[in-house]
Chain A
Amino acid sequence: MKMRQPKKVLSILFACISGICLLALGLLAVLQQVDDNRSMETVAALRTSAGMRQAVSAGAGSGIASASTAAPQPQPTPEATAPPQPAAPEATAAPQPSPVPIENPYQDSFLANSDMAAWLRIPGTDIDYPVMWTPRDEEYYLYRGFDGSSNRNGCLILDTDSCLEPLTTNLIIHGHNQESGAMFGHLPEYEDYSFYEEHKSITLYTKEQQRNYEVIAVFRSQVYKKTDQVFKYYKFFQADTLEEFDYFYNNIMDMSLYDTGVTAEFGDHFLTLSTCVYHVERGRLVVVAKETQPGDSYLPIRE
């Protein structure tokens, strides 16, 4: 009889713990879903706005730019001195940047939150998000949505040692590796060469222009101790000398999981995307892309 009672009590106790855990599990799952939905709604609204502006720009051609009389327009190269042009590009060719500044498709987003530094897009993936830059507190948006409200997905954040104006050699963007695939949840897929082949290009829409990048290296790394004398990709922002450039370039090429065939030279600019992975403690998956031909330049953003 003495043995029976404690067993019964323990059984009920464990059943209660199990029940509470299941209840908390359900509650958290619901809350996370609400969080996801809310952040997706905000981003979707911003995407829609950008899409509409892009559609209008595409429909009007250079009409929008020419309609704007406030900004001085650069003169196109005189045709008379231009070298002979090859045959007209086919309809499937990559769109050429507009010769004159056009309206920024992400104007509404920039106006909605002045902390937004750029918009990052990897065509063919879900990575299509605003990038926040808060020098006063780098991690302000790590667990906050675009509207500043608490959100476990957070936002993509531009490292505060990176700078768009003047442009530093390397821009580092950090984002959560979410199981749901949100933010940089799909970034680790770059470890697969076939994924890289289908998603080589990355676009960053800044206030001033569209910056195009091509993936040059994908590697795993980690956050090191302050005293560790090793290559730390997250410490490289500016290369003022060839030596500094080569140190970064040679290291990322050596660490790359595969050869992309893309090369870089002193003076090139990079975009580094970084997210957590778990091969080691404080592991990181890093995708480095090299800036290629500039895209459209944008008119100043006005209210």
Chain B
Amino acid sequence: MKKFKHTVTLLTAAVLFFLLPRAGCLRAAAAEPVTYAVKYIEENDDWRYLANTSTFDENAYHRELYYMLLDIKDGDIVIVYNETDQARTLDLGDVHLGNLTVAPSDAITMIFSGDVNECHILKGAYCTINANVANAHVYESAVCNFNKNVQELRLHVESELSTSLSVGCEGTVGHLYAPSDTLPRTFYDLYDFKAGKMVILEGVLMANSADYSSAPAQPPAPTAVPAPSAPATDNDEYDEVPKTGAPSPLLWLAGIAVVSAAISFRLRKSNESFSQKAPF
């Protein structure tokens, strides 16, 4: 009876052990990023917003920016519209935006926010961005100034750099990359601009060659205790050039065939001599 009780207890414990964690497990998921369309409405003399849309429909019910700032969270997406003819300032607080897009405007829009992952300055936009930006995309004929640092600045150019494209950065720029979208040509591919030196005025880079590097900076040499075997890093990567060697497995096959035949012959010989020597 005691043994039976012991068995039942063990089985119950096992069942609980498997079931309870599943029943009680917490299901947590990060909230999806929300897209906000923000526009300066002259009638209200204020910035208004619509949530969960990338276009701003003035006929829809839009709310004061104050409420958006209560809800906005890191990773959210903001699209800014300013169709007025006066300079406007948009302060988004310290939120870390996943994406900030600035639509075309006639007057300058000054945007303040926390760090920005992806920043798109569309064709015809006119703005300043007061935030550190990881990846900035500036399209033709935009006029834009980044007042903090930009890690990767990509200019989207069709066939020629537009004379109406002007971009500046008060901070540092890690990499300026301006390939043509239609031709196999790269206008700029430069690295490590010093603070305030990256200025493209009407499509022309105004920086001196001493203010940037034409190749990425080599990462600093490791100062820690050297690892027994260094894993492959970017330093080990080779330039991408078509491999034009003639792959020839024929030589290898021929080599293997000859060696195998030689070994086989030798083994057979030694086997024969062994059988001749051993009478039993």
A302 at the interface (CB under 8 A from B): no
Residues of B with C-beta under 8 A to A3 = 274
Q: How far is the CB of B280 from chain A (nearest CB, A)?
A: 8
Residues of B with C-beta under 8 A to A179 = 246, 248
Closest-by-CB residue of A relative to B249 is: A28
Known: A8-B271, A28-B250. A238 touches B264 (CB 8 A): no
Interface hits, B235-269 → A, CB 8 Å: 235-239, 241-250, 253-254, 256-258, 260-261, 263-265, 267-268
Interface-located stretch among B20-28, B98-106, B181-189: B181-189
Residues of B with C-beta under 8 A to A17 = 256-257, 260
User: Judging by beta carbons under 8 Å apart, are B244 and A4 in contact?
Assistant: no
B234 at the interface (CB under 8 A from A): yes
Q: How many residues of chain B get a CB closer than 8 Å to chain A's CBs? A: 39
Interface-located stretch among A79-87, A210-218, A223-231: A223-231
Q: How far is the CB of A162 from chain B (nearest CB, A)?
A: 7
CA of A223 to CA of B241, assembled, Å: 7
Q: How far is the CB of A134 from chain B (nearest CB, A)?
A: 10
User: Which residue among B185, B235, B244, B264 has the maximum number of chain A CB atoms within 10 Å of its CB?
Assistant: B244
Residues of B with C-beta under 8 A to A15 = 260-261, 264
User: Judging by beta carbons under 8 Å apart, are B257 and A225 in contact?
Assistant: no
User: Judging by beta carbons under 8 Å apart, are B250 and A14 in contact?
Assistant: no
Known: A11-B264, A15-B261, A18-B261. A174 touches B275 (CB 8 A): no
A160 at the interface (CB under 8 A from B): yes
B224 at the interface (CB under 8 A from A): no
Residues of B with C-beta under 8 A to A237 = 185
CA of A130 to CA of B242, assembled, Å: 17
Closest-by-CB residue of B relative to A180 is: B246
A178 at the interface (CB under 8 A from B): yes
Residues of A with C-beta under 8 A to B236 = 225
Q: How many residues of chain A get a CB closer than 8 Å to chain B's CBs? A: 59
Partner of A238, one of B185, B271, B274: B185
A24 at the interface (CB under 8 A from B): yes
User: Judging by beta carbons under 8 Å apart, are B274 and A7 in contact?
Assistant: yes
CA of A80 to CA of B256, assembled, Å: 77
B208 at the interface (CB under 8 A from A): no
Contact with A along B183-202 (1 / 0, CB 8 A): 11110000000000000000
Contact with B along A153-194 (1 / 0, CB 8 A): 000010111110010100000111111000111000000000
Partner of A161, one of B184, B248, B261, B263: B184
A279 at the interface (CB under 8 A from B): no
Q: How far is the CB of A100 from chain B (nearest CB, A)?
A: 29
Residues of A with C-beta under 8 A to B258 = 18
User: Judging by beta carbons under 8 Å apart, are B260 and A160 in contact?
Assistant: no
A138 at the interface (CB under 8 A from B): yes
Known: A7-B267, A225-B238, A227-B218. A176 touches B185 (CB 8 A): no
Known: A28-B250, A223-B239. A175 touches B244 (CB 8 A): yes
Contact with B along A10-30 (1 / 0, CB 8 A): 111111011101101100110
A274 at the interface (CB under 8 A from B): yes
User: Which residue among A4, A18, A152 has the maximum number of chain B CB atoms within 10 Å of its CB?
Assistant: A18
B44 at the interface (CB under 8 A from A): no
A245 at the interface (CB under 8 A from B): no
Residues of B with C-beta under 8 A to A163 = 183-185
Known: A14-B260, A25-B257, A142-B243. A227 touches B186 (CB 8 A): no
Interface hits, B193-244 → A, CB 8 Å: 215-216, 218, 234-239, 241-244
Known: A161-B184, A227-B234. A18 touches B242 (CB 8 A): no
Residues of A with C-beta under 8 A to B216 = 226-227
User: Judging by beta carbons under 8 Å apart, are B243 and A21 in contact?
Assistant: no
Residues of A with C-beta under 8 A to B244 = 142, 174-177, 183-184, 274-276, 284
Task: Please name 9 pairs of A and B residues whose Cβ atoms are closer than 8 Å in the assembled complex, sorted by A.
Answer: A10-B264, A14-B267, A15-B264, A18-B264, A142-B243, A166-B183, A177-B245, A184-B244, A225-B235
Binding site for B on A (CB under 8 A): 3-4, 7-8, 10-15, 17-19, 21-22, 24-25, 28-29, 32, 135, 138-139, 142, 152, 157, 159-163, 166, 168, 174-179, 183-185, 223-227, 229, 232, 234-235, 237-238, 274-276, 278, 282, 284
Q: A25-B254, A142-B243, A276-B245 are in contact. List 5 more A-B contacts (CB 8 A).
A: A28-B253, A159-B242, A175-B244, A225-B235, A225-B238
